[in-house]
Amino acid sequence: MGANIYRNKKPVLVFLVPAFLFMILFLYYPFFKNIMNSFMHIKQLGSSAASFNTPWYSNYVEIIHDENVWTSIKNTLIMMVVTLIGQVGIAIILALMVDNIRRGKQFFKTVFFFPIVISATALGLLFNLLFLYDKGMVNQLLEALGKSQLTDWKAEGIALFTMMLPVMWQYVGFYFVILITGLNNISDELYEAARIDGASTLQSVRYISLPLLHNVICTCSVLAVTGALKVFDLPWTMFPKGMPLKSTFLTGTYMYYHTMETKNVDYGCALAVLIVVLGIVLSKVVNTIFREKDY
Amino acid sequence: MKKRVIAAMLAGIMVLSVTACGNSSNTPAAAGTETPAAAPTESAEEGGDAEAAEQPAAQPAGPVELTVTTTFAGEDTNAQNYKDAVKAWEEQTGNTVVDTSATSDETFKMRVATDFETGSEPDVLFFFNGADANSFIEADKVLSIDEIRTEYPEYATNMNEDLIPGSLVDGKKYAIPVNGYWEAMFVNTEILEAAGVAMPGENYTMDMFNADCEKIKAAGYTPIAAALGNIPHYWWEFAIFNNQSPDTHLEIPASVEDTNGQAWVSGMNDIKELYELGYFPDNTLSATDDETFAMFTDGKAAFLIDGSWKVGGIVGSCQSDPEDPSTLDADKLAKFDVTYVPGKGSRKATDLVGGLSSGYYITRKAWDDPDKRAAAVNFVEYMTSDDVVPAFAQHAASALKNAPEVDPAEFNELQRKSIEMMAGVTSLTGAVQDLFQGDCRVSTFDGMPEIVTGRVDAVDAVAEGLDAYHNQ
């Protein structure tokens, strides 16, 4: 009788069905409805679609001709590279360094992880103050160092850097914690044997830590790249409406802009479909590149 | 068997919890308002219950919770007045107000429109009476004043009917205004003195303004505090107005080629010219309105075109504690003044933009709720009473029939200067942007940086906006 319950899968179904229905109701139905809405004319958010657009695929034609769409895709791809190098790369370096110290590991873990617990909106406001044109901390520091002219950190040429820096900084700690947990799982015996064989610290990192961290790094990379597709709140707080000159739009912020600001809801729906397609394609590519190895 | 039962129970609990989550948004209101002895509202509406109709002011059986949304929040001059008035009403009636007020911006307008569309509108709404209100008026989601008067004949009778604007949808009057507004030019006189520029007056022209801006710029200050990439609204309005007259300003062009269309294009090009002359802040395309306003109050920018609601913001910047008027630095406040917006062509400087653009609406949702109807009417009557309105109107106009005499001693210096300035106004015209709502604005509002930098031609931007407007 005891083993019989593992053969009978019906109770499992009872648990799965509510979750399945929940997903259908709150994810798949809205998603397919969104696809439908992208072909319709919707006057404003919340109102039902009045009729089909003329032609029905006009929003998708507009997407192709909309310069801001290409800007937002370009910025999102840059964001992916930045998160990959900036977040995962820095996290690897920090994790390897902290793993090699004897005391204070917990302290550094807490310090590096802390930005994760602050809301992105609060961080956006914080960095807004840091990069403020007049009386901002960064400009005050530069002034103290002898710079006579104020720097507009949100000007067109530099805005992308100003936007991506805090995004990068915020998530370093997240990957740092994952990586340091991965490092803790590597047996000390390997390092000890390497030391007996005369390996330096750098050689231990190169030939033991990094190869054995490969799968963890792959997981972090996939998370970072797919996470970059969803970044929204911090960029929107710092650069609403793609300011300046619509140069800082990401795919998510551009979709929100059309849905919530310009009341062009059906075009926002079409952009949402584009984001999903982009997400699926990029996830596939990233999963192929960062395929985990079997040891 | 026992395990199957437990599994089924757990699954049932999961389903119930999901269902409960779905219902939770309706629960508080229902719990707070449900009373067994509901007033016979429907029969009264249908005229079938004479007794109910004869007792319109009947109070609900118990305390009522009203959801109220207004624009009295953030830096709005009346944010504190509103809180005080709500508190007083709650103490007087025993009812409670769930306040969902927020600073008025495009996101707020969208939120209100969405709330109406999704059936989660507030019971009472203080909102714009222009094109922003069209969607919920068209959907019959709010009551006209006349409809409310069928049951509450005294409703809004203390207001001057002629001053209550009608809806753009059907001409009926829905919103009871509290305080009027005006848009004018605030001045930091300290900068004017430093640059050797005289205080502008009633005959101020754009040519004089440009000459003054040049002097101010030469003195090392920023002439105009404005964030063109964030809030170009005031300059948009007056730049267009300067190429029209008070008689034609509210006419939306049929096309970019007609006279008004050309006036709009000229207005955009006027802003572009000011930008190219370097009169706006260096970071005008990337700054927020708060940042450029801070430049003005910190003595770094000389002129600020904004609305009467900004008086409170300027006064607040002169207080060590913005919440406490007793901490006002009167000397600092004395450095600020308000004057007319430089004129051009048929528009005199003293022809300003203003009016009564907002008011209290009662939603049909509250009206159809037998418990909330009386409370909602009572709340609006209280907020628009002869006692409360003057506190909100202050130096601006109101629609009261018996507006009390204004005692200048009650006001701070900037408010007194505002009253003096308003005494010289030759005309007050509504804002054309209140009629020009939705995605038609995008090309010239959000697109202002592209226009002033020359990336988009003003003609194309105006044409795109007008096309969107006429296709709505």
pLDDT tens for each residue of chain B, 472 residues long: 444 544 444 444 444 443 343 343 333 333 333 333 333 333 333 333 444 333 344 455 578 999 999 999 876 778 888 999 999 999 999 999 999 999 887 778 888 988 998 899 999 999 999 888 998 999 999 999 999 999 999 999 999 888 898 999 999 999 999 888 999 999 999 999 999 999 999 999 999 999 999 999 999 999 999 999 999 999 999 999 999 999 999 999 999 999 999 999 999 999 999 999 999 999 999 999 999 999 999 999 999 999 988 998 899 899 998 778 889 999 999 999 999 999 999 999 999 999 888 999 999 999 999 999 999 999 999 999 998 998 888 767 788 888 777 777 778 899 999 989 999 999 999 999 989 987 899 999 999 999 999 999 999 999 999 999 998 7
In whole angstroms, give the CA distance from residue B404 to residue A240: 43
Could you give the residue ranges of the DSSP H alpha helices within A239-264?
Answer: 251-256
Q: Does residue B322 fall inside a structural domain?
A: yes
In whole angstroms, give the CA distance from residue A250 to residue A253: 5
Using an 8 Å CB-CB cutoff, list chain A residues near B291.
132-134
Q: How close is the nearest chain A Cα to the Cα of B15, in Å?
A: 6
Among B18, B288, B291, beta carbon nearest to A18 = B18
Interchain contact, B118 vs A154, CB within 8 Å: no
Residue of B nearest to A247 (CA): B286
Interchain contact, B11 vs A17, CB within 8 Å: yes
Interchain contact, B11 vs A18, CB within 8 Å: yes
Among B14, B113, B291, beta carbon nearest to A45 = B113
Write out the DSSP string of A127-166: HHHHT-TTT-HHHHHHHHTT--SPP-TTSTTTHHHHHHHH
- On whether both B205 and B284 belong to a single domain, the answer is yes
Residue B67: which of B363, B385, B340 has the closest Cα?
B363
- On whether both B148 and B209 belong to a single domain, the answer is no
- On whether both B299 and B345 belong to a single domain, the answer is yes
Using an 8 Å CB-CB cutoff, list chain A residues near B15.
18
Residue of A nearest to B449 (CA): A245
pLDDT of residue B303: 98
Q: Does residue B5 fall inside a structural domain?
A: no
Q: How close is the nearest chain A Cα to the Cα of B101, in Å?
A: 18
- List the domains of chain A with CATH numbers: 67-289 (1.10.3720.10)
Provide the Cα torsion A51, A55, A61, A63; round to 10°.
-10
Interchain contact, B230 vs A15, CB within 8 Å: no
pLDDT of residue B4: 52
Q: Does residue B406 fall inside a structural domain?
A: no
- On whether both B330 and B361 belong to a single domain, the answer is no
Interchain contact, A261 vs B106, CB within 8 Å: yes
Interchain contact, A15 vs B291, CB within 8 Å: no
**pLDDT tens digits, A25-67:** 999 999 999 999 999 998 777 777 888 998 999 999 999 999 9
Interchain contact, B285 vs A5, CB within 8 Å: no
Contacts of B131 (CB under 8 A, 6+ apart): B168, B434, B435, B436, B437, B438
Q: How close is the nearest chain A Cα to the Cα of B220, in Å?
A: 13
Residue B163: which of B357, B353, B393, B419 has the closest Cα?
B357
Q: How close is the nearest chain A Cα to the Cα of B119, in Å?
A: 9
The last residue of one of the domains, among B393, B410, B442, is B393
pLDDT of residue B24: 38
Helix (H) or strand (E) holding B239: helix B233-241
- On whether both B452 and B375 belong to a single domain, the answer is no
Residue of A nearest to B293 (CA): A134
- On whether both B225 and B251 belong to a single domain, the answer is yes
Residue B70: which of B352, B301, B361 has the closest Cα?
B361
Phi, psi dihedrals of residue B15, rounded to the nearest 5°:
-65, -45
pLDDT of residue B438: 78
Number of domains observed in the structure of chain B: 2
Interchain contact, A134 vs B291, CB within 8 Å: yes
Residue of A nearest to B454 (CA): A245
Q: Does residue B130 fall inside a structural domain?
A: yes
Based on the number of CB atoms within 10 Å of its own CB, is A219 exposed (0-12), middle (13-18) or buried (19 or more)? middle
- On whether both B171 and B277 belong to a single domain, the answer is no
Could you give the residue ranges of the DSSP H alpha helices within B64-129?
Answer: 79-93, 106-117
pLDDT of residue A109: 86
In whole angstroms, give the CA distance from residue B45 to residue B361: 19
In whole angstroms, give the CA distance from residue A168 to residue A87: 5
Residue of A nearest to B292 (CA): A134
Interchain contact, B286 vs A43, CB within 8 Å: no
Q: How close is the nearest chain B Cα to the Cα of A118, in Å?
A: 23
Q: How many Cβ atoms sit within 10 Å of the Cβ of residue B472?
A: 12
Q: Does residue B147 fall inside a structural domain?
A: yes
pTM of the complete model: 0.81
Interchain contact, A152 vs B286, CB within 8 Å: yes
Mutation target for A interface from B439, B453, B455, B471: give the one with most A CBs within 10 A.
B439
Based on the number of CB atoms within 10 Å of its own CB, is A165 exposed (0-12), middle (13-18) or buried (19 or more)? middle
In whole angstroms, give the CA distance from residue A154 to residue B281: 13
Secondary structure percentages of chain A, helix, strand, coil, to 5: 75, 0, 25
- On whether both B329 and B446 belong to a single domain, the answer is yes
- On whether both B350 and B371 belong to a single domain, the answer is no
> In the structure encoding, which two tokens stand for residue B381, read together?
């009557």
Provide the Cα torsion B135, B140, B146, B151; round to 10°.
-140
Based on the number of CB atoms within 10 Å of its own CB, is A134 exposed (0-12), middle (13-18) or buried (19 or more)? buried
- On whether both B240 and B303 belong to a single domain, the answer is yes
Angle among Cα A158, A170, A86 to the nearest 5 degrees reads: 60
Using an 8 Å CB-CB cutoff, list chain B residues near A159.
286
Using an 8 Å CB-CB cutoff, list chain B residues near A18.
11, 14-15, 18
User: How many cross-chain Cβ pairs, A to B, lie less than 8 Å apart?
Assistant: 99
Which residues of B lie closer than 8 Å to A, measured between beta carbons? Answer: 3-4, 7-8, 10-11, 14-15, 18, 106-107, 110, 113-118, 135, 229-230, 282-283, 285-288, 291, 294-295, 298, 300, 438-439, 442, 446, 449-450, 453, 455, 472
Interchain contact, B113 vs A260, CB within 8 Å: no
Q: Does residue B439 fall inside a structural domain?
A: yes
- On whether both B246 and B366 belong to a single domain, the answer is no
Interchain contact, A154 vs B442, CB within 8 Å: no
Using an 8 Å CB-CB cutoff, list chain B residues near A49.
none
Which domain covers residue B371, as residue numbers?
A: 57-180+356-393
Which residues of A lie closer than 8 Å to B, measured between beta carbons? Answer: 5, 10-11, 14-15, 17-19, 22, 43-47, 132-134, 150, 152, 154-156, 159, 240-241, 243-246, 260-264
Q: What is the pLDDT along chain A (295 residues), one digit of tens a residue?
A: 455 666 777 788 888 999 999 999 999 999 999 999 999 998 777 777 888 998 999 999 999 999 999 999 999 999 999 999 999 999 999 999 998 888 888 898 888 888 888 999 999 999 999 999 988 999 999 999 999 889 999 999 999 999 999 999 989 999 999 999 999 999 999 999 999 999 998 999 999 999 999 999 999 998 998 889 889 999 999 999 999 999 999 999 999 999 988 888 999 999 999 999 999 999 889 888 888 776 6
Q: Which residue has the tokens 């009341």?
A: A263
Are the beta carbons of A235 and A248 closer than 8 angstroms? yes
Residue of B nearest to A25 (CA): B18
Q: Does residue B82 fall inside a structural domain?
A: yes
Among A22, A45, A244, beta carbon nearest to B286 = A244
Phi, psi dihedrals of residue B35, rounded to the nearest 5°:
-135, 145
- On whether both B149 and B176 belong to a single domain, the answer is yes
CATH number of the domain that B83 lies in?
3.40.190.10
> In the structure encoding, which two tokens stand for residue B160, read together?
């001057």
Write out the DSSP string of B18-62: HHHHHHTTTHHHHHHH--SS---HHHHHHT--HHHHH-TTPPPSS
In whole angstroms, give the CA distance from residue A290 to residue A218: 5
Q: Does residue B219 fall inside a structural domain?
A: yes
In whole angstroms, give the CA distance from residue B470 to residue B472: 6
